[in-house]
Amino acid sequence: MTPIDSRIVRYGELKPCKTAFIDAHTPGSDQKENFTIIGGGVSESPDQHVHITDAIGFNIGAAGQPPKCRNSLHSHTTAEVFFVLSGRWRFFWGRWGSAGDFVAEEGDIFNIPTGMFRGFENIGTDYGMIMAILGGDDAGGGVTWAPQVIQDARDHGLVLGENGVLYDAGSGQKLPEGVAPMPVLTEEQLKSFPEVPIEAVVPAYVGRYQDMRALGARRPAKIIGREALIKDQPGFEVEFLTGGSLGDTVQTPKRPTVLMPVKGHWRLTLEDFETTLNPGDTALLYPNENYRLTGAMTGEQSLYRIIATDDPAGATWTGST
């Protein structure tokens, strides 16, 4: 095995967790699967498998759901970026999920504004997958659930402790001595979670696949970053590559880089090692590594490249500067 083999997670080898979050027993959300690919992720379950434990400044994960399955309303204090690998997904936000919504197709990307409640559901006809980029090494430290989600979970036997761990009453689990239930937000606290109108979200935080294909036809397109399509500094930058974007050998920056194909097959040459990356695969490159990306086959090819930056993980600032 070459060193890079241990840093590639193949789509077909992803290990799901079906008890990752507080709504794991709630009807309508009880069939979702959570994947933690790089970093600790945001799972509340000790059953969650972590594929690559490296702390690289951001986390990579994924959510897989059958049709009509939804992820309940929650909020983050650091970035939560999704791109659609397969299927059709409706994203919605607000205290009750009614402040705004839009449908994302394959390849689309959404840099969800921090501080607002958000959820998503698979509205397609087949099992779908969305890939996630989460800000910071401790991405799980800033997740807050809408009050009704906590109440629904209790009604179905799941209690989230203030220690961030789930306990299943149906399996005989109880909160440990000295651990109280996660407190529910008060009405006064809820006032700090904005009801953001759709016209303030979609133009500033959403990248459409076909637009990015055009932007990345000849060179990597900057999608998330200070001077990018979506202007933000969440602790990482996101670029979009097509088959015509890259061919020369390049060196990773002084911080880690992650490659995530969306469509087609990519030949990755790293030093003297060569392999093929396919849609849904995730590859971690360390700082100062020489690598080359080329198309492995004819046909449509696209890939997201995520690069860690010196910016601290924190609230989104698109539209505020």
Letter for the amino acid at 240?
Answer: F
**What average pLDDT score do residues 306-320 get?**
82
Tell me the helices (H) and strands (E) count for the chain, helix number first.
4, 25
Residues pairing with 93 in the sheet: 100, 118
Worst-scoring range by mean pLDDT, 40-49, 118-127, 221-230? 40-49
pLDDT-derived band of residue 143, with 50, 70 and 90 as boundaries?
A: confident
Of 37, 55, 267, 19, the residue nearest 167 (C-alpha): 19
- Residue 203 is classified by DSSP as H
- pLDDT higher than 80, residue 170: no
201-259 residue pLDDT tens: 999 999 999 999 999 988 899 999 999 999 999 999 999 999 766 666 677 788 999 99
Domains of the chain and any CATH numbers? 3-171+194-204 (2.60.120.10), 209-308 (2.60.120.10)
Nearest CA among 44, 34, 35, 40 for reference residue 53: 40
